[in-house]
Structure 1
Amino acid sequence: MVVIGSRVGGCAAAIPLARAGRRVIALDKMSFPSDQLSTHFLTPTGVTEFAKMGALRRILDECDPTRVHHINVAAEGIEALERMRPGDTGVDFGVCIPRDQLDVCLVATAREQGVDVREKSAFQALHWRAGRVSGVRYRDPEGQLRDISCRLVIGADGRRSTVAAAAGASRPYRMSRNGRGLVFRYATDPRAGEGGIETDTFYQWREGESFGLVFPIAPKGRMLVLFMGPREEVSEARADGEAYWQRKLAQHAGLRARVAGTDWTAASKIRSTADCTAFFRASSGPGWSLVGDAAHFKDPVTGQGMRDAMWMGRTLAERVLPHLDDPLATDRVTRAWERHRDEHCLPAYHFANLDTRVERQSPALCELVRDAGRTTGPDLTDVFSRARTPQQIAPLPRLIKMVAKAMVSGERPRRETIARAVPELRTELEIRRERWRGRFRETQLVFGSDHPDPEMPTPPAVLAIDDRDAHAGSTAAAPVGVAA
């Protein structure tokens, strides 16, 4: 097998295959360590994926992350502090690790478990034989073109996937425009060493049209501070980052109090992106499959990308392993896996789409946070840990009850409460109807969730190589290798 991309999704796919005795070659155009724009937020279910890869001990030892047990959500001044639900292996903490640290550990773990990871090796083309992918062409670190024959190619090469382009699947069949941008930086945590709840908590403040977040990260004593306002704010941050930063601190009083005493002159540079269009791609075909951001990307407002990439890689590998010696069976399994992937990821996709709308938090959501805040057990935070879907956390009777509470409380005008509740309930009904229909590669958009005018970059130019031509000598490359 050949895996293109050896970060979270690629390693998660490659490791189970190699562990089962298959020869696996993972190609990555980068060398490690290298950075990657990412929120790198993981709840216990994400950390559990590290454990299933066999990477957790190495990550804890080498990255030394703060082990976080709580999430605090604040909506328009109403707060809920919850302890996160443990994963299915008993892991009860989350972590936040910058990618230049994390990916080194994953690559080392993959090599330790038998994956042939080749850095500075850039994928160039797919080989085809009788309508099925039969191998890959890549450029090695010395610039030499080389070919590998294989039973299956897994693309884990990100949103601008060259594997997707080579397979003719670059254009997503479903897309949604993001309303929010991301602006963030790293700094020394002024609460480090105090041993209080603040350094054991992922914080999220939802105020007006803006989100503010603070995550303890690796190594211990550092933090990530992130603002997610309207995507147009990214231009402001790039024009005058420090002025933007001070304006956002003034906007989020709770965040400002949490980071009070930070020496911003010693903080990292400010980083940003407004390029966060959500999408689903066709992710399986004859002899190929896609995982991670190459397959499906949701708005990072919910911090689900890394966890989902690892889940995709692992579950794909587990499903194809018994069938790899039968090409037709392998292709049937990858298609069935893609359907399962969609069922698993659609609820989080819609949740992220709802959160990326630039608007004040609704009265019903504020009441939901208030209701959850009555205890410290896992409730709303299950949406981040993926223990339950948003629809399971807030079934229609609970949503209607929260609307009624908002009407009674009178904190917001009743007309506003009704005006927000009616379209929100319609959206929730359409999300449930879509799940009930269960259509494969659904293209019908959901009112209030899928946002119009998405932007996607031009797909990369790639070659398609018919092996009959290659054996005839029409392509120049080093001798063909084999990955079992």
Structure 2
Amino acid sequence: MAKQIGRFDAIVVGARIAGCVTAAALAQLGWSILLIERARFPRPTLSTHLFFSDTLHAFQRAGLLEPVLRIGAPRLRWLRFPYVAAPFPESGEFDFALCIRRDVLDTALFETVRSLSNVTALTSARVTAVRRVDDRRWDVVVETTSEEWLASAPLVIGADGKDSIVARQVGAPVLQEIPPLFAWYYTYVDDLPWDSDLAALAYRGDYPEIGAEYAAAFLFPCDAGLTLVGYGVEHRAFPAFRRDVTHHFFAGLRRIPEIWERFAAARQVAPIRGTGHLPNFLRQASGTGWALVGDAGCHQDPHSVQGMGNAARSAWLLAEELARVQTEGIDLQQALARYASRRDDDLLPMFAFTTFELRRRLPDDIWERFEARTREDPHLASLRVAAMVHAIHPATVYTPERVVSLANGEAVLPLHSA
């Protein structure tokens, strides 16, 4: 029979970005939190590693910013991608991006959260069941290496990634689903030559030998003086790529001179990791006594670098709505419904851009003019980067109506003049 851990105000399953921001923010409200993590830190996880001012704001509000900045990762001031190049906009006190290895970042977040007096944190613990007991209580069964435990709470929050057990156990409906688009792999290198201006760089390429008309590579300077080097191919080339990952990773980089010249001069210090199992979906964000944050609620291809920001923003949006249960006396279910509405409004424009659904809704000539104008007009490029980092609402740019207007020459004021 399972041993009782106790009763809590909320149980958060998953203790990486989404789970830590959620637990820390709710702890600020005085809630008692059980935070459950399957891994034992430090442990890496597949990730693009790059995050922006939206994530920094969420860390700041949840009391998690100081340990992140203490890591000492270089502050990246520019984004230079194949479709857009511009400096990161000022958003509050932040005008930079960071790239930090996930074993380092997640450990710093977790150690900060577990030190909070009203957070009980378990690692190397696997949730095996989430059961609805009545209208006011969930029971969560947790397995550790030696024992089985039972915890109860009126609210269960899934922050446990794209394969979320919480989502499965509560029956969270899938609202949108789009097949995988790319496969992505990465490694870390030391002593990579950089200009004085550190930036997040990505370049387009191809790899026709394995059936990839589209490929891309990226360089992100990260913590400890390392650089994250990544390479990806369109998903139809994934079966061929995975048959010899090391060979194809190097061969693909060689096809992109801007990357290869730097990579060849550096020293590889880590294995190549990656996957093509990158589904695109939007799950319902909440239901009776449950909520999903981060990849548990929405997962999308990393090419638009939204995952870490989505995790942090969705966690903070949930915490904001749950705070109203205390400050305004609103019903828990009403708060969860408001969270779901706000999360969808926040995520959908970039989800449509990332999955190419937005592009599919528009005539080719409109999209081509939009892309051409981005290259020609630095103010439009700045606007698109601001939308990407959520310094402005992405719907300012990424809706069919806005793309048409911008493609047709609508004046774009510099962001600081708005």
TM normalised by structure 2 equals 0.84
In 1: Cα distance, 2:180 partner to 2:381 partner: 31
Segment of structure 1 superposing worse, 18-27 or 128-137: 128-137
CA contact (8 A) 1:182 1:234 kept: no
Superposed CA deviations along residues 391-416 of structure 1, whole A, max 9, x for unmatched, are 523542221349xxxxxxxxxxxxxx
Partner of 2:80: 72
In 1: Cα distance, 2:151 partner to 2:227 partner: 43
Superposed CA deviations along residues 107-162 of structure 1, whole A, max 9, x for unmatched, are 111123332211122212223233554332212342x2222221211111111111
**How far is the alpha carbon of 1:73 from its aligned partner?**
2.4
1:349 to 342, 348, 351: 351
Equivalent position amino acid for 2:72 in 1: D
In 2: Cα distance, 1:180 partner to 1:268 partner: 22
1:254 to 230, 251, 258: 258
1:227 to 209, 227, 231: 231
1:164 to 158, 164, 167: 167
In 2: Cα distance, 1:332 partner to 1:401 partner: 42
Equivalent position amino acid for 2:217 in 1: G
**How far is the alpha carbon of 1:29 from its aligned partner?**
1.6
CA contact (8 A) 1:176 1:277 kept: yes
2:31 to 14, 22, 26: 22
Equivalent position amino acid for 2:46 in 1: L
Higher RCO (CA < 8 A, seq sep 6+): 1
In 2: Cα distance, 1:226 partner to 1:281 partner: 28
**How far is the alpha carbon of 1:326 from its aligned partner?**
11
In 1: Cα distance, 2:66 partner to 2:371 partner: 39
Structure 1 pair 233/269, CA: closer, same or farther in 2 (3 Å)?
farther
**How far is the alpha carbon of 1:66 from its aligned partner?**
1.4
Equivalent position amino acid for 2:160 in 1: D
2:63 to 54, 68, 87: 54
CA contact (8 A) 1:14 1:24 kept: yes
Partner of 1:124: 128
In 2: Cα distance, 1:258 partner to 1:364 partner: 33
Gaps of 5+ in 1: 403-484
In 1: Cα distance, 2:130 partner to 2:330 partner: 18
Equivalent position amino acid for 1:152 in 2: L
Structure 1 pair 395/235, CA: closer, same or farther in 2 (3 Å)?
closer
Partner of 2:114: 111
Superposed CA deviations along residues 210-257 of structure 1, whole A, max 9, x for unmatched, are 2221111112x2111112221133333332233312322232232234
3-state SS of the aligned residue for 1:30? coil
Partner of 1:464: none
In 2: Cα distance, 1:283 partner to 1:294 partner: 9
3-state SS of the aligned residue for 1:308? helix
Superposed CA deviations along residues 305-325 of structure 1, whole A, max 9, x for unmatched, are 111111111221121133269
CA contact (8 A) 2:127 2:143 kept: yes
Matches within 5 A, 1:2-401: 2-61=11-70, 63-75=71-83, 81-88=85-92, 90-114=93-117, 115-131=119-135, 133-142=137-146, 144-169=147-172, 172-191=174-193, 196-197=196-197, 200-207=198-205, 209-219=214-224, 221-263=225-267, 266-323=268-325, 329-354=331-356, 363-372=368-377, 374=378, 378-389=382-393, 391-393=395-397, 395-401=403-409
CA contact (8 A) 1:72 1:203 kept: yes
Superposed CA deviations along residues 85-125 of structure 1, whole A, max 9, x for unmatched, are 1233x122111111111111111111233322111222122
Could you say what the CA RMSD is over the residues aligned between the two structures, in angstroms?
2.8
CA contact (8 A) 2:54 2:313 kept: no
Gaps of 5+ in 2: 1-9, 207-213, 411-418
Superposed CA deviations along residues 3-34 of structure 1, whole A, max 9, x for unmatched, are 11111111111111112211111011211111
In 2: Cα distance, 1:82 partner to 1:258 partner: 22
In 1: Cα distance, 2:286 partner to 2:128 partner: 19
In 2: Cα distance, 1:26 partner to 1:135 partner: 14
Equivalent position amino acid for 1:167 in 2: V
3-state SS of the aligned residue for 1:181? strand
**How far is the alpha carbon of 1:389 from its aligned partner?**
4.8
3-state SS of the aligned residue for 2:340? helix
Segment of structure 1 superposing worse, 267-276 or 24-33: 267-276
CA contact (8 A) 1:81 1:376 kept: no
Structure ranking higher in strand proportion: 2
Structure 1 pair 232/356, CA: closer, same or farther in 2 (3 Å)?
farther
CA contact (8 A) 1:183 1:226 kept: yes
Matches within 5 A, 1:383-422: 383-389=387-393, 391-393=395-397, 395-401=403-409
Segment of structure 1 superposing worse, 106-115 or 325-334: 325-334
CA contact (8 A) 1:74 1:369 kept: no
Superposed CA deviations along residues 170-209 of structure 1, whole A, max 9, x for unmatched, are x5231011221112211114226x6x01xx2001223452
Larger radius of gyration: 1
CA contact (8 A) 1:132 1:287 kept: yes
TM normalised by structure 1 equals 0.73
